[in-house]
């Protein structure tokens, strides 16, 4: 076993004595999930300790785009005239999940409106406005947009589409989430949570029955132990751990830009394993290199090395990218004719060149002779009638690509600027209780956020805002349940 995959030892309960500091709930990690868990536990009356390895709060959450995936009729949806229901949201998330956990999906959807309201009580308000364009993120402060495959076939037939990407009202890619994390820090301080920065958990402490009763910590040269009947691990994913990536998600080692903080090293997951946690969906990464904006490029066609289409080009960008990675050699190209090409200002998918004829294009890309010509002929014939019988691309994105020259953009892994993070983690109940392989819970142990497997489990079905949405939502549930369990615990406080 390599150092990066080593599982920490579990310490016996004898490591705790009468002088050991005692808390009701200890939370490991101050990202969105850990912060929400700590706040809700404190508001439920628990004495809470929050440990963060970094010198500041925020974790990887502060690096995200500021989307929360929320629906079922939120105040923003209603204000912008978009109908949504719990059942439509449930149907959509079930349809796009690899292995849907129905109790979690239903809880998330039924609690989504309340969760949206709760987030605003932190001290901000989602702008009551809608951004109608196809984009990775709203360019301004617009509060709502489509951030998944809701309007993509077959999902648009399985659930009524509704926009659910709620963005924090700050322009820019990461400033909005930083603002939310600052507000969360302020609310945590008001709730009386003890926060220790530059302090990380090193080991869990369990009794003879395997119940988690505390943990060991380290801060530079100092170390110690604390007693707690409830421990919540919210320490992030494992994208920065090359050994774990190589073992579980080798695609993330193929030159993508990793989306994570220094401490996304999988330690939280390995701590859970030390106490008996089962792991789920560890082989599922989120990897993407968006072809849009500009949205006009969606009218083109994406082909593999055989000159054949394999995905609807109007798919959410990570769905498209996951299909690209599954192609031979993880290779694909976006072909757009001169009537529809628009060159992006900041291309993540670089332009290879323009070609006067399809024959010249096929030769340059080493595609089988006549392959792209046949694909284009079929696509153009149907697109002229507003149809796409092969992949059912939305009619608004159908346009014949018949006028040369043709521009070709490079989607190949290692050429396009792919970015990614991990989706797998500890198996948990709907309340964040860590579970063993047989489904039984590890008493006293909870997990939330990127180190737990909840509804964000499949790169093809992922929607922007799911990580922040589920991290905050299930973090809250874990914090409340942990506080209740601690209140009923026989541990002497």
Instruction: Supply the pLDDT for residue 107.
Output: 98
457 pLDDT higher than 70: no
Same domain for 97 and 141, yes or no, is yes
Instruction: Supply the pLDDT for residue 251.
Output: 78
Check: CB of residue 146 under 8 Å from CB of residue 163: yes
Confidence of residue 344 (pLDDT cuts 50, 70, 90): confident
Same domain for 405 and 319, yes or no, is yes
**Could you give the angle at the alpha carbon of 255 between the alpha carbons of 253 and 256, nearest 5°?**
90
> What's the half-sphere exposure (Cβ side, CA atoms, 13 Å) at 385?
8
Same domain for 270 and 302, yes or no, is no
Instruction: Supply the pLDDT for residue 492.
Output: 45
Confidence of residue 178 (pLDDT cuts 50, 70, 90): confident
Query: Out of 58-62, 104-108, 365-369, which region has the weakest mean confidence (pLDDT)?
Result: 58-62
Mean pLDDT of the chain: 93
Confidence of residue 434 (pLDDT cuts 50, 70, 90): very high
Of 148, 167, 186, which residue sits at a domain end? 167
227 pLDDT higher than 80: yes
Of 410, 434, 457, which residue sits at a domain end? 410
Instruction: Supply the pLDDT for residue 146.
Output: 96
Same domain for 27 and 79, yes or no, is no
Cβ neighbour number for residue 451 with a 10 Å cutoff: 33
Stretch 225-244: mean pLDDT: 92
Instruction: Supply the pLDDT for residue 255.
Output: 58
Query: Do the domain assignments include residue 493?
Result: no
Which residues constitute the domain of residue 135? 67-167
283 pLDDT higher than 90: no
1 pLDDT higher than 60: no
**Torsion sign across C-alpha atoms 283, 284, 286, 289:** positive
Same domain for 110 and 188, yes or no, is no
172 pLDDT higher than 70: no
Instruction: Supply the pLDDT for residue 257.
Output: 64
> What's the half-sphere exposure (Cβ side, CA atoms, 13 Å) at 139?
7
Same domain for 326 and 406, yes or no, is yes
454 pLDDT higher than 60: yes
Check: CB of residue 423 under 8 Å from CB of residue 457: yes
Confidence of residue 253 (pLDDT cuts 50, 70, 90): confident
SS3 label, residue 60: helix
Check: CB of residue 10 under 8 Å from CB of residue 205: yes
Which residues neighbour 211 within 8 Å (Cβ) at sequence distance 6 or greater? 442, 443, 444
Domain count within the chain: 3
Of 134, 167, 200, which residue sits at a domain end? 167
Instruction: Supply the pLDDT for residue 226.
Output: 98
Same domain for 198 and 333, yes or no, is no
Same domain for 306 and 384, yes or no, is yes
Stretch 158-163: mean pLDDT: 96
Number of H helices, E strands in the chain: 13, 23
Same domain for 344 and 442, yes or no, is no
SS3 label, residue 285: strand
Tokens 């142990």, residue?
A: 445
Query: Do the domain assignments include residue 71?
Result: yes
Element (H or E) spanning 373, and its range? helix 371-383
Same domain for 191 and 265, yes or no, is yes
Instruction: Supply the pLDDT for residue 373.
Output: 98
- pTM, 2 dp: 0.94
Query: Do the domain assignments include residue 342?
Result: yes
Cα-trace Rg, the chain = 24
Instruction: Supply the pLDDT for residue 256.
Output: 59
Instruction: Supply the pLDDT for residue 490.
Output: 58
Same domain for 352 and 390, yes or no, is yes
CATH code of residue 350: 3.90.700.10
Query: Do the domain assignments include residue 196?
Result: yes
Check: CB of residue 257 under 8 Å from CB of residue 321: no
Check: CB of residue 441 under 8 Å from CB of residue 118: no
Instruction: Supply the pLDDT for residue 288.
Output: 87
Query: Do the domain assignments include residue 492?
Result: no
Query: Do the domain assignments include residue 23?
Result: yes
Same domain for 360 and 375, yes or no, is yes
Confidence of residue 173 (pLDDT cuts 50, 70, 90): low
Which among 408, 383, 409, 406 has a CA at the least distance from the CA of 396?
383
Instruction: Supply the pLDDT for residue 493.
Output: 40
Confidence of residue 30 (pLDDT cuts 50, 70, 90): very high
CATH code of residue 463: 3.50.50.60
% of residues, the chain, pLDDT over 90? 77
pLDDT tens readout for residues 41-80:
999 999 999 999 999 988 877 777 789 999 999 999 999 9
């Amino acid at each position: 076993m390599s150092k990066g995959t080593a599982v920490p030892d579990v310490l016996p309960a004898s490591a705790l004595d009468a002088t050991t500091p005692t808390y009701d709930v200890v939370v490991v990690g101050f990202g969105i999930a850990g912060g929400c868990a700590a706040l809700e536990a404190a508001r439920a009356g628990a004495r809470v300790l929050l440990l963060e390895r970094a010198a500041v709060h925020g974790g990887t959450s502060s690096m995200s785009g500021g989307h929360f995936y929320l629906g079922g009729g939120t105040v923003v949806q209603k204000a912008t005239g978009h109908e949504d229901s719990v059942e439509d949201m449930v149907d959509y998330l079930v349809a796009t999940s690899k292995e849907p956990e129905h109790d979690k999906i239903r809880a998330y959807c039924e609690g989504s409106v309340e969760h949206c309201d709760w987030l605003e009580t932190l001290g901000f308000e989602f702008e009551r406005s809608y951004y109608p364009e196809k984009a990775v993120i709203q360019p301004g402060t617009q509060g709502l947009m489509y951030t998944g495959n809701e309007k993509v076939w077959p999902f648009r037939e399985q659930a009524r589409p509704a926009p659910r990407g709620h963005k924090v009202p700050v322009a820019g890619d990461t400033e909005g989430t930083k603002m939310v994390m600052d507000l969360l820090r302020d609310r945590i301080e008001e709730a009386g949570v003890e926060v220790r920065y530059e302090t990380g958990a090193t080991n869990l402490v369990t009794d003879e029955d395997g119940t988690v009763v505390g943990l060991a910590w380290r801060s530079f040269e100092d170390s110690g132990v604390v007693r707690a009947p409830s421990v919540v691990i919210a320490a992030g994913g494992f994208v920065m751990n090359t050994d774990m990536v190589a073992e579980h998600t080798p695609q993330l080692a193929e030159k993508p830009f990793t989306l994570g903080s220094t401490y996304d090293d999988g330690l939280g997951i390995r701590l859970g394993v030390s106490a008996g946690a089962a792991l789920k969906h560890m082989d599922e990464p989120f990897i993407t290199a968006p072809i849009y904006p500009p949205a006009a490029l969606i009218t083109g066609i994406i082909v593999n090395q055989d000159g054949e289409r394999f995905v609807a080009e109007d798919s959410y960008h990570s769905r498209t990218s996951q299909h690209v990675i599954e192609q031979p050699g993880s290779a694909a190209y976006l072909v757009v004719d001169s009537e529809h090409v628009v060159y992006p200002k900041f291309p993540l998918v670089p332009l290879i060149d323009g070609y006067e004829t399809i024959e010249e294009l096929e030769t340059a890309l080493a595609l089988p002779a006549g392959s792209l010509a046949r694909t284009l002929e079929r696509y153009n014939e149907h697109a002229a009638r507003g149809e796409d019988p092969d992949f059912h691309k939305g009619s608004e994105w159908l346009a014949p690509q018949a006028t040369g020259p043709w521009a070709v953009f490079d989607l190949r892994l290692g050429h396009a600027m792919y970015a990614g993070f991990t989706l797998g983690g500890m198996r948990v109940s709907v309340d964040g209780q860590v579970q063993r392989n047989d489904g039984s819970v590890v008493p006293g142990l909870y997990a939330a956020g990127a180190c737990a497997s909840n509804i964000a489990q499949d790169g093809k079905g992922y929607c922007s805002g799911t990580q922040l949405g589920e991290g905050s939502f299930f973090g809250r549930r874990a914090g409340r349940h942990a506080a209740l369990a601690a209140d009923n615990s026989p541990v002497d406080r």
